Amino acid sequence: MADRLYLLNADWFDDQGGPWFCPPGARIEGVLGLYPRLREHLTVTYLDHPRPRPAVIAEVGEANQSCPLLVLDGEFDWPDAQVSEETGARFLQDDDILPYWAARYGIGRPHP
């Protein structure tokens, strides 16, 4: 099983207007562009913006629908992972994904 990454599709609209994109998701997309080999280790799913997001809810529960979200496959111990109270799945969100990828897959880390 691979780590499962959930990202939002770009160009969505909400009550504040649009079209929008997700800034944390754009950063993750940028890292995937810098290190395309990462995609070999991931199952990437793109979601529409409106909630509920059933695919994410099934993985980590309703309380954790924010994206980007990485559900860990359990093959690599990562003590900083959050644990879903609803499903028990271990996951990371937003910029917490990047240090995990650096440790597990040997990519560069963001400069402080």
Q: Is it true that the peptide bond before 68 is cis, omega within 30 degrees of 0?
A: yes
Would you say residue 112 lies in a domain? no
Would you say residue 109 lies in a domain? no
CATH number at residue 25: 3.40.30
Tokens read off for 88: 């028990």
- Give the domain extent around 63: 1-103
Residue 83 neighbours by CB under 8 Å, 6+ apart: 89, 90, 91
Which pTM was predicted? 0.96
Instruction: Report pLDDT digits (tens) over 77-92.
Output: 999 999 999 999 999 9
Would you say residue 95 lies in a domain? yes
Q: Domain tally for the chain?
A: 1
Q: How would residue 105 be classed by pLDDT, with cut points 50, 70 and 90?
A: very high
